[in-house]
Amino acid sequence: MKKILVAMMVMVMIGSIAFAGGTTETAATGETAAETTVVRNADKPVVFYNRQPSDPVSGEIDMNTMNWNDSTFYVGFDAAGGGAVQGQLIVDYLASADPAVIDRNGDGTIGYVLCIGDVGHNDSRARTEGIRKALGTWAGSTDPGVVQEGSANVGGTTMKVVELEGRAMTGTDGSTWNANAATDAMSGWATRFGNQIDMVVSNNDGMAMGCLQASNYPAGVPIFGYDANADAIEAIGQGRLTGTVSQNVDAQATATLQVLRNLLDGLTGEDVWTVGITEPDQYGNKISADMEYLPETKALLAQNTGVNASNWQQYTEGTRDAGISQTTAETKRVLLTVYNSADNFLSSSYLPALRYYAPLLNLELTIVQGDGQNESVCLDRFTNLNNYDGYAINMVRTNSGPDYLDRLRY
């Protein structure tokens, strides 16, 4: 009986070793037979995208989250550079404008109102700063109301610039970057400030389009957005929207997937952020738009371009990166979260791009969408993690990275 028990224990031990992965070598032939390798969830690739892990007050990057493991990265766009591009787009417009036309009440002052997306979001901060610095209204803060009197060249004449009001567009449900809140705000601004409003500026296209929905939007007043969403590009073509900024959503979406693909294929070092991105991969794929890697924050960033009446046709809906074609890599499964199903940029631009490029890279996406307010909506569905090879995370709050990573510990 003892011999039988000992034999059974040995068999269990051998089975446990085999399940743990690695390779076994037979004594007779020396041949190696590959076993299934079990990768801990904590060691799997994690790519944060669109919302960079950071402190919502100071904006400081959360490097504890970014250093979760060697396979943790952020993919987004050059936020500071994008703010500067939007500011320059506005300055260039003013430089060629007729002062007698744009200064609606003839008081010698260019008054503008500002739609702020989320005071705790790094991208929103960068855009607000870029706008205010370009117009001279920067007073050292991105907070609503913290501004100074500025100036700008308007058709060859230096004119005073004032920010009549800047407001964070928070919906009644607590969601940020809210287009409906922008509609309501614009209606109130038009009533309150009247012809003092010479220009409208927004941290994104969704809120800019929301402003245009106000029944009393002042006809002919220039308005600038950010994102180059399909409806915004169409509005530029129709002469309703003055300008926007493309953050090269296809480059971001592809880079999010390509970094995951590279990590899942076992690439390490600079190959993770260069192969298929700034140099061709084994299939000849390479992202066409410019990308920059910042090693100090493990961030891969797409560059921005201004869009206006002179070049809007280049950004029409359906244009995809011809540099990406079908691969034959092994299919891998990725769990991907979206902080808000109602976010205009993510739903109309980013997700369609992800869905287009994922099959080309042989990545099978399971998409979880939140409500833009409660982190739990995504977290409660950030489950069955053993079923996935990697994770792409877009948070409601930029300091929620640890909440997702804690799920991967077990």
Query: 410 falls in which pLDDT band (50, 70, 90)?
Result: confident
Q: Which pLDDT does position 36 carry in this prediction? A: 58
Q: In which domain, by residue range, is 157 found? A: 80-246
- pLDDT surpasses 50 at 17: no
Q: What is the pLDDT of residues 118-152, one digit of tens each?
A: 998 888 999 999 999 999 999 999 999 999 999 99
- pLDDT surpasses 50 at 356: yes
Residues 171 and 125 in one domain: yes
Q: Which pLDDT does position 318 carry in this prediction? A: 66
Rg (CA), the chain: 25
SS3 for 197? strand
Q: What is the pLDDT of residues 282-336, one digit of tens each?
A: 999 999 999 999 999 999 999 999 999 999 998 886 679 999 999 999 999 999 9
More confident residue, 103 or 25: 103
Q: What is the pLDDT of residues 162-208, one digit of tens each?
A: 999 999 999 999 999 999 999 999 999 999 999 999 999 999 999 99
> What is the total count of domains within the chain?
2
Residues 57 and 140 in one domain: no
- Residue 360 belongs to some domain of the structure: yes
- Residue 234 belongs to some domain of the structure: yes
CATH number assigned to the domain comprising residue 145: 3.40.50.2300
- Residue 240 belongs to some domain of the structure: yes
Q: What is the mean pLDDT of residues 241-260?
A: 96
More confident residue, 199 or 38: 199
Q: What is the mean pLDDT of residues 230-257?
A: 96
Residues 328 and 211 in one domain: no
Residues 239 and 257 in one domain: no
Q: What is the mean pLDDT of residues 249-275?
A: 97
The single-letter DSSP state of residue 23 is E
- Please identify, among 246, 281, 301, the residue that sits at the C-terminal boundary of a domain: 246
SS3 for 199? strand
More confident residue, 113 or 410: 113
- Residue 303 belongs to some domain of the structure: no
Mean pLDDT rounded to a whole number for the chain: 91
- Residue 210 belongs to some domain of the structure: yes
In the chain, what percentage of residues exceed pLDDT 90? 82
Query: Are 151 and 104 contacting, i.e. CB atoms less than 8 angstroms apart?
Result: no
Residues 110 and 238 in one domain: yes
Give me the amino acid identity at 331.
T
Query: 6 falls in which pLDDT band (50, 70, 90)?
Result: very low
Q: Distance between CA atoms of 216 and 235, rounded to whole angstroms?
A: 18
Residues 212 and 71 in one domain: no
Residues 131 and 67 in one domain: no
- Residue 365 belongs to some domain of the structure: yes
- Residue 159 belongs to some domain of the structure: yes
Residues 94 and 169 in one domain: yes
Which range is least confidently modeled, 28-37, 316-325, 380-389?
28-37
Residue 287's nearest CA partner among 323, 242, 238 is 323
- pLDDT surpasses 60 at 20: no
In the chain, what percentage of residues exceed pLDDT 70? 91
CATH number assigned to the domain comprising residue 321: 3.40.50
Residue 152's nearest CA partner among 161, 163, 162 is 161
Residues 109 and 48 in one domain: no
Q: Which pLDDT does position 243 carry in this prediction? A: 98
Residues 337 and 203 in one domain: no
Query: 30 falls in which pLDDT band (50, 70, 90)?
Result: very low
- Please identify, among 246, 274, 307, the residue that sits at the C-terminal boundary of a domain: 246
Residue 272's nearest CA partner among 291, 287, 258, 290 is 258
- pLDDT surpasses 70 at 236: yes
Q: What is the pLDDT of residues 73-91, one digit of tens each?
A: 999 998 889 999 999 999 9
Element (H, E) at 359: helix 351-360
In Å, the largest CA–CA distance within the chain is 104
Residues 349 and 399 in one domain: yes
- Residue 123 belongs to some domain of the structure: yes
- pLDDT surpasses 80 at 338: yes
Checking phi first, is residue 136 left (phi over 0); if not, alpha (psi -120 to 50) or beta? left
Residues 273 and 400 in one domain: yes
- pLDDT surpasses 70 at 1: no
- Please identify, among 195, 213, 246, the residue that sits at the C-terminal boundary of a domain: 246
